Amino acid sequence: MMFPTDWSAARAFSLLSLLLLALSSAPPCSADVVDGGRLFPAGVRYEYESTTTVLAGGSADNRDPEVGHRVVGRLSVENLWPATDAADEKLLRLHFKSLKFQTWSKKSKNDINRQFIDRKSRINRFSDQPFFAHWRNGHIENLYASSANSLTEENFKKGIAGLFQFQLSNQHTIEYSTLGKCNVTYEKINENSVSKRIDGCVLPTTLPPEIKHPDKIWQGTLRSKREGLLIYNQESFTDMSLEENHEYRTSFMNEVGASISSKQHIELKETKQNGDIFKANSFEEAINQLEKQLKLKLEKQNLSPKHEAKNCKHYNSCNKFNDVVKKYHDSLLDSELGKSKSAYAAIKVIDAIENSDTETIKKVLSDKKNKDIVIQLYDLLGAALNENSHKASMETLVFTDAKNVEQIERYLWSASIKFNPKIEIIKSLMSITDEKLTNKKVMDTLFNTVTAMASRLDRYNHTDTNALLCGELVIRTLERLEKCKQDDDECILTYIRALSNLKHPLSIEVLLSFAQHGNRMTSAYAMKTIKMFGPSLWNSRVLKYCNQIFFQLVKEQDSSTRVIALAILLESDPDYDLLKHVVKWLATPSEGYEIKQYALELLKEMANQNETSARLLRTVLVREKLNHYGNMAQRGLSSCFSRKFINYNNITGLVKNSQQIYSGVTKRGSVDIVLEHENVKYDLCSFGMFTTGLGYFTSLYDDSGKKDTSDEANLPATAGLELIVFGVHIRPFIMFSSQGQLMGHIWAGTGSDKTPIIQGISQMIEHLEYVPLSNGITAELNVKGTLSLDISGQIEMSLWNKNAQSIIEKNGGISIQGSLKLDTDLVTDEVDFALNTEGLLHMHSDAEFATKIVLCMQIYFVDTNVTTTVRKNQKVHGLSYKSYTTTTRTHPVSGRTFALNQMVNEFCNTIHSQ
């Protein structure tokens, strides 16, 4: 149907007019906000029953009876100001009456029947004055209150005010509360109820700085859930609740941790008419009228909680350093190193150090009663590493005194592992490196410590200042390396180790030069350092050099350097051509069979660890027809493999063994402990050994294959140990450096008794986190973990019987202790949790060399236990009332032995059958 043009225009104009009229009659804010704004009309008082409950307990896998408290009372809410210009702004008057403090009874073991019991407490000190909130568009803009009697009271009122932030429709918004800045999602359930979900909170700036290890495995996991439900009628809320649950677990065991649950709940009990209404043109004018009426000065505050510095200094209850050392003296003796007992005691002593001044620390160090543990005390000073502990160490250690060498090195080793060192302490140690120290061991350890600390600081707290310091140390290290004489291996290796700690790309070119043109020792160290840098720094130039070094395209290379270069190539997503050339190289008759055996072991390990590379290797073997005896059946003793010893809670523990054999004797070997968590690898400890010139054994070995034409057999007899802890190089320990020293050890039986190689205590976990609750309380999560290490060895050799036996024991005692504490002026609720265990990795070897070398090596973990403890404490302040429960569990962990390879198994059968 067609209409006249003038009629259609008139109709369109009328519709447009109606639409504009409808829009002009709508309020400036959205309909949803107006819907929220209709609640709490002026002139009406709403009386609620209010309950705030807090419970603390173990983790979800250790749900024993919790400890907790609650505050109950009567809460009145009324709107004093009917805003004239908009319905989305209110002045809420909040007033608490008849407050009671209650704790959870322990009389019934059945949690369902447990009840809260009234307790006398300091809650009667809370002010009886009302407080006021500026409500706008569903948000609490500010709080107005007279001076509170305590921070606990002030934060409690902020928690109550935060309940009245609400929206009544589906929407996402940002709210500021006692939780900080949070993302909040509202979802309408029906006409009279809305759910509230809170996540993505950014901590309030009023809380102190946190301490979080950048590696997730040392942080543990904190899971939080915050949800609420709002039920309302045409005027107000009839029922409102906000619940939150927080659970912390260590990364190592699910049941080691703690949890908090909090619930705020208000229920409408009574509605009264009230004539207290202020007529004002603005909110500020209404507040001024309110202050005049109450004759009070109201302080304007936001909802951020004020931190209650509740610590031992606040309560004047710090454990004195001297008393703590006295209590745990026997646990710190040399005989306890490597055990969980000393690791547990270490955390207690570190806590005491952190609360002690310099003079107190010096007094304990000089006490004659502590003479037998003074070295362990320097370990713990390095672990604490704050201003006072460092000052005490520097004032008691004399770097030029030979008697202080062991104390100096132990302090520096422990300090080098600290993940968050202070830049002032690093600069203090740097100044000592400028001095001329005659003791090369101290100088080596000092420079390694400084570079390790600077690298960690820059890596974990990357700022311009920290990056500048790290860069300065890289340049200084390269300059000192350049000044080393070409034949001074000791000098060169000192600064190559420093570069391995710095892990800076500026050092790549220098290290590549040493790898390709250095002597057998410096080239191997340089290549090992590049490998420690990891794939992130293995660019195309590095891979090109590794290819040249392994295939000896430029010059002949040391076998150790070559196999490390090959390991880098195989860990860098090798392509088809590389794998083809490596497998073809295995059939090269001019190559020594031990290096070919080691290369084959690397190929097998690559296939075990990387499925993509494994498929590519199978393709190469089939297409190139290389899967035959000549390539894949080498006869050497060298080995390279990894074995799992932990597969729990998303953590995989690996033992990596590498033994490069030369003529029947380990030329270079290592046993590494590696953890994998969420596809990230963490190197815990690497224990290595190197030897040269053991010609006596070389002459006895089966030499039916090609003779090694290198000068290996003509080198001086040396043997040493290398240790890397948490990625930090410890200077090598030389057992002997000449044939004379070796024979001296043999005739004197020096190693017949168990001899410590390296001992020490270091801190591996340091975590401080704050968990603000919606009720205004802030929970403090504090976790520390220590490692007590004892690596010792024993060797017996008989030239008469022509046999030898050796044992190397890597014993590590581990203790993780944490607490989740809610500390207020009313009450302290605390959950302490702990894990204590020992990791005992032993390497046994038996050798016979009557006619030819027969070597049996065994690597195994010893049976051990994991002990977990959860203790829940409650203390009501102002009363003698205390409550605590303790739960201890022991988990046995079976030991295991790791197979090496078929040839070693045959040697073991031969020796043990005799």
Both structure tokens of 788: 């007590």
Name, of 84-98, 350-364, 803-817, the range with top average pLDDT: 350-364
Both structure tokens of 394: 């520097």
Confidence class for position 136, pLDDT limits 50, 70, 90: very high
Q: What is the mean pLDDT of residues 307-330?
A: 84
Both structure tokens of 595: 């290096």
- What is the pLDDT of the chain when averaged over all its residues? 87
Nearest alpha carbon to residue 282 among 82, 132, 133: 82
Query: What pLDDT sits at residue 59?
Result: 80
Query: What pLDDT sits at residue 223?
Result: 93
Query: Contact 246/822 with Cβ under 8 angstroms?
Result: no
The conformation of residue 66, written as its DSSP 8-state character, comes to P
pTM: 0.88
Residue 86 predicted with pLDDT over 60: no
| Residues forming beta bridges with residue 845, ordered by sequence position | 806, 857
pLDDT digits (tens, 9 = 90+) for 460-487: 888 999 999 999 999 999 999 999 998 8
Between CA 222 and CA 906 the distance in angstroms is 50
Residue 895 predicted with pLDDT over 60: yes
Between CA 508 and CA 520 the distance in angstroms is 19
Confidence class for position 18, pLDDT limits 50, 70, 90: very low
Q: Is 689 helix (H, G, I), strand (E, B) or coil?
A: strand
Query: What pLDDT sits at residue 528?
Result: 94
Query: Contact 527/564 with Cβ under 8 angstroms?
Result: yes
Query: What pLDDT sits at residue 701?
Result: 53
Query: Contact 653/674 with Cβ under 8 angstroms?
Result: yes
Between CA 453 and CA 363 the distance in angstroms is 28
Name, of 180-184, 272-276, 792-796, the range with top average pLDDT: 180-184
Which helix (H) or strand (E) segment holds residue 239: the answer is strand 237-249
Query: What pLDDT sits at residue 280?
Result: 86
Both structure tokens of 575: 């392509």
Query: What pLDDT sits at residue 61?
Result: 66
Q: What is the CA radius of gyration of the chain?
A: 35
Query: Contact 268/46 with Cβ under 8 angstroms?
Result: yes
CB atoms within 10 A of CB 275: 6
pLDDT digits (tens, 9 = 90+) for 185-212: 999 999 999 999 999 999 999 999 999 9
Across 215-224, 252-261, 329-338, 686-695, least confident range: 686-695
Query: What pLDDT sits at residue 755?
Result: 78
Query: What pLDDT sits at residue 216?
Result: 86
Query: What pLDDT sits at residue 406?
Result: 94
pLDDT digits (tens, 9 = 90+) for 451-460: 999 999 998 8
Residue 516 predicted with pLDDT over 50: yes
C-alpha triplet 717, 723, 727: angle, nearest 5°: 145
pLDDT digits (tens, 9 = 90+) for 34-81: 456 788 998 899 999 999 999 999 887 666 678 899 999 999 999 998
Query: What pLDDT sits at residue 24?
Result: 36
How many Cα neighbours within 13 Å face the side chain of 859? 23
